Structure 1
Amino acid sequence: MKLELKKYVLELKHTFTISRESHDTQDTLITCLSIDGHTGYGESTSNPYYKITFESMEKEIEAIREEIENFDFKEPEGFHDFLVSKGLSNFSICALDLAAHDLYGKLQAKPLYEIWGTSNDQYPITNFTIGLDSIGKMVEKMEEQPWPIYKIKLGTDNDLEIVKELRKHTDAKFRVDANCAWEASQAIQYCRELKELGVEFIEQPLHAEDWEGMKKLQKEAVLPLIADESCIVEEDVDKCAGYFDGINIKLTKCAGLTPALRMIKKAKELGLKVMVGCMTESTVGISAIAQLLPQLDYVDMDGALLLKNDIAEGVEIRENGTVIFPEENGSGVKLLK
C-alpha cells in the first residue's frame, strides 16, 4: 500500500468566527492510500483548540510510514485497530481511516453507504453555518447563500439580539451553536426566547465539563440540546445520555468513520438523536460524512461551501440542500490538484 501526504491551505470566502477564535484560512492534511491503481483519500484539518497542526499530524504519520505501507490491508476496521495501537492522535487516525474507507469502497466497486447496507433515497439536509460577525455582515452572509436551514454561531453579549435581527430576513429554520459560551441560568432564559424565534435546537450551550449545569439545563430547557465538545470519542456517548437530547459526531475528533459508525449505533440504542458535523473541510472530508447521511437525524456538512476554492470533487451540495452523490465508489473523491 502506497502512502502520500499532501498539505493544502484552504482559503475561506469570509472570516469564520466562533466564540473562541477566528480564521481566514484553514490548513488541512490530505492522505492518499493506493493499492492496485485505486486511491482512497482522507482529510483532517488543523485545530488550535485541540493543539493539532499539519506538522504534528505529518510527523506522527511519517514515523510509521513503513509500517503503514507494509500493512496487509483487508478492510478499514483492522487498519483502524492498527493505527490506534500506534498511539496516533485521533486527527491523524481520522485522515488515514477516511482514506482507508474510500480505498476499500473503490476496491469493492461500491459506495460506502451501500457497503453499510443503507440507501441514499432519504437523508437530512445540511444546515449552512453563519459565523459570528457584525449583525449586518451575518445578514449579508444569509442573503449571499439562501438556505433552508442555518446554524448560527453565538457566544456574545447580544446573542438574542442577533437571532431576532436575523429572523427578520428569513423564514428558514434556525439552529444555534454557543460553542460552550453560556452559563446554565443564561441558557435556560435564552431557550424560551429562541424557541419563539424558530430555533430547532441548541448545540453545546455550556462548557464541555459543566455536567452539573447541564443537569439543571436539561430539566428546564424547552429546546433540544445537542452535545458537541462534550461528545468527542466513543466513551462519551453513554455519558451524554440524560444530559443531552442528541450528539454531534465530528470525524476528526473521534478518529474517523470506523468509531463514528459505532457511536451512531450506540446513540440510537440510548434514544439520542444523531448529528454528524464538519470542520472547515474540503470536499474530501465532506464526501466521507455524506456516506453516513442515511443514518442521521441532522447533519452539518457545509465546510466545502465556505471555501473560495475547493481542492476535490465528490459529493455535490445544491442550493436547496439536495445532495448529488458521485459516480465514483467509496466516498467518491477525486483530487483536483
Structure 2
Amino acid sequence: MDIQLKKYVLELKHTFSISRESYDFQDSLIVCLSLDGKTGYGEATSNPYYQITTEKMISEINDIADELKNYTFTSPEDLYSWLTLKNISNFSKCAIDLAAHDLYGKLLNQPLYKIWNTDIGHYPVTSYTIGIASVEKMIEKLEAFPWPIYKIKLGTDRDIEIIRRLRAHSNAIFRVDANCAWAPGETVKNSFILKELGVEFIEQPLKADNWEGYKTVYKESALPVIADESCIIASDVEKCLGYFNGINIKLTKCGGLTPALQMIKTAKKSGLKTMVGCMTESTVGISAIAQLLPQLDYVDMDGAMLLKKDIAQGVRIEAKGKVIFPELGGSGITLN
C-alpha cells in the first residue's frame, strides 16, 4: 500500500467553547492509503485534553510507514490487529483504520453499511451543537440554524438559565453535555429541572473517574446519563453498567471503526444505548461515522457542519437531518 499524510487546519464558522476550552481552528490529519488504483481516506484531529497533536500523529505513523507500505492488505480488521502491536496512539490508529475501511469498500465497490449488512432505511438524526457563549449568542446560533435536535454545551454558573432561555426560542429536542463540569448533587438536581424543560439526556456531567458519583447519579437522576470521557476504549463499555444508561463512542478515542463496531455490539448486548459522536472533523471523519448510523440510537455527527470550508466530499447532511449517501464504495470520500 502507498501511504500519504496530509495536514489541514480547519476553520470554524464560530468560536467553539465547552467547559474546558475554546477554539476557532482545528488541526486535522488525513491519512491516504492507496492500492490497485483506489485510495481510502481517514481522519483524526488534534486534542489537547488527550495530549494529541497532528505532529505527534505524523511522527507515529511515519515510524511505521515503511512497514505499512510492505503490508499485504486483506481486510481492515486484520490491519487493525497488526496496528495494535505498534506503539502508536488510538488517534493515529483511527486515521489509518478509517482509511483502510474506505479503501476496502472502494476495492469491493460497496459502501461499508452494505458490507456490514445494515439498512440505511432508518437512522437517527444528528444533533447540532450549540457551544458555550453568552446566552444571546447561543440564541442567535440556534435561530440561525433551525434543527430538530440540539446538543447544548454546558458547564457554566448559569446552565439552567441557558436552557430556559433557549427553550423559549425552540421546540426542538435538547440534549445537554456538561463535559465533566458538574458535581453529583448538582447533576441530580439539574436533571429534574432539565426534564421539565424537554431535555432528552445528560452527557458526561461528572469527571471521568468519579464512579461513586455516577453510581449516585444513575440511581437518582430524572434523565438518562450518557458516558463520553468515561468510555474511551472497548474494555470500558462493560464498566459503564450500573453507572450510565448509554455510551458515546468517539472514533478518534477508541481507535477507529474496527473497535467502534465491537463497542456497539457489547453495548447492545449489555442493554446500553449506543451513540457515536464527533470531534470537529471534516466530511472525511463524518462520512465514516455515517456508515454506523443504522446501528445507533443517537448520533452527533455535525462536525463538518460547523466548518467555514470543508476539505472533502462524501456523506451529506441536508435539512432536518436527512443523510445523502454517495454511490462510491467504502465511506464514499473524495478530497477536494
Q: Offset at 1:128?
A: 0.1
Question: SS in structure 2 opposite 1:253?
Answer: helix
Letter in 1 for 2:245: D
| CA–CA separation in structure 2 for the residues paired with 1:58 and 1:110 | 29
Aligned residues: 336
Match of 2:301 in 1: 301
Structure 1 residue identity aligned to 2:217: L
Specify the alignment match of 1:16 in structure 2.
Answer: 16
Partners of 1:27 and 1:309 lie apart in 2 by: 13
Q: Give the deviation of 1:327 after TM superposition.
A: 1.2
Q: 5+ residue gaps in structure 1?
A: none
For 2:52, what is the secondary structure of its paired residue? Answer: coil
TM superposition shift of 1:319 = 2.0
Q: Residue in 1 aligned with 2:171?
A: 171
Which residue of 1 is the match for residue 63 of structure 2? Answer: 63
Q: Which residue of 2 aligns with 1:141?
A: 141
Q: Deviations over 1:188-214 (max 9, x none)?
A: 000000000000000001100000000
Match for 1:193: what amino acid? I
Deviations 1:255-294 (A, max 9, x none): 0000000000000000000000000000000000000000
Query: Does 1:271 find its partner at 2:271?
Result: yes
Instruction: State the Cα deviation string for residues 143-190 of structure 1 (Å, max 9, x = none).
Output: 111100000000000100000000000000000000000000000000
SS in 2 for 1:320: helix
Distance in 2 between residues matched to 1:72 and 1:60, nearest whole Å: 20
Cα distance in structure 2, aligned partners of 1:4 and 1:290: 24
Partners of 1:120 and 1:108 in 2: CA distance: 19
Q: Partner residue of 2:181? A: 181
Task: Tell me the equivalent position of 2:210.
Answer: 210
Q: Residue 45 of structure 2 aligns to which amino acid in structure 1?
A: T
Instruction: Show the counterpart of 1:79.
Output: 79
What SS does the aligned partner of 2:96 have?
helix
Deviation at 1:84, TM superposition (A): 1.1
String of CA shifts for 1:71-97, please: whole Å, max 9, x gaps.
000000110111110121000000000
Q: Work out the CA distance in 1 between the residues paired with 2:277 and 2:217.
A: 23
Q: What displacement does 1:29 show?
A: 0.1
Cα drift, residue 297 of structure 1: 0.1
Q: Which residue of 2 aligns with 1:252?
A: 252
Match of 2:37?
37
Report the equivalent of 1:114. 114
In structure 2, C-alpha distance between the alignment counterparts of 1:326 and 1:87, rounded to whole Å: 35
Give 4+ residue runs of structure 1 displaced > 4 Å after superposition. Answer: none
Instruction: Name the CA distance, whole Å, in 2 between partners of 1:157 and 1:325.
Output: 41
Match of 1:233 in 2: 233
- Could you tell me how far apart the structure 1 residues matched to 2:320 and 2:97 are? 30
Q: Which amino acid aligns with 1:9?
A: V
* Residue ranges of structure 2 left out of the alignment (5+ in a row): none
For 1:299, the aligned partner's letter is: V
Residue identity matched to 1:178: A
1:87 and 1:55 map into 2 onto residues whose CA distance is 15
SS where residue 181 of structure 2 aligns?
Answer: coil
Looking at structure 2, the residues matched to 218 and 126 of structure 1 have their Cα atoms a distance apart, in angstroms, of: 25
Q: Which residue of 2 aligns with 1:313?
A: 313
Percent pairwise identity? 67
Counterpart of 1:303, as a letter, is G
TM-score (norm 1): 0.99
Q: Please give the secondary structure, in 2, of the residue aligned with 1:85.
A: coil
Whole-angstrom CA distance in 1 between matches of 2:200 and 2:87: 39
> Following the alignment from structure 1 to structure 2, what is the Cα–Cα distance between the partners of residues 95 and 37?
20
Q: 1:292-317: CA deviations, max 9, x gaps?
A: 00000000000000000000000000
Q: Which position in structure 2 is the counterpart of 1:199?
A: 199
Mapped to 1, the partners of 2:144 and 2:290 lie a distance apart of 24
Rounded to whole Å, the distance in 2 between the matches of 1:94 and 1:22 is: 24
Distance 1:72 1:194 in 2: 53
Give, as a single letter, the amino acid of the residue that structure 2 aligns with 1:148: P
Give the whole-Å Cα distance in 2 for the aligned partners of 1:44 and 1:319: 26
Residue 154 of structure 2: aligned partner: 154
In the alignment, residue 138 of structure 1 is paired with which amino acid? Answer: M
CA offsets, 1:214-257, max 9 Å, x none? 01111111100000000000010010011000000000000000
Q: In the aligned structure 2, how far is the partner of 1:312 from the partner of 1:252?
A: 18
Distance, in Å, in 2 between the alignment partners of 1:60 and 1:113 is 30
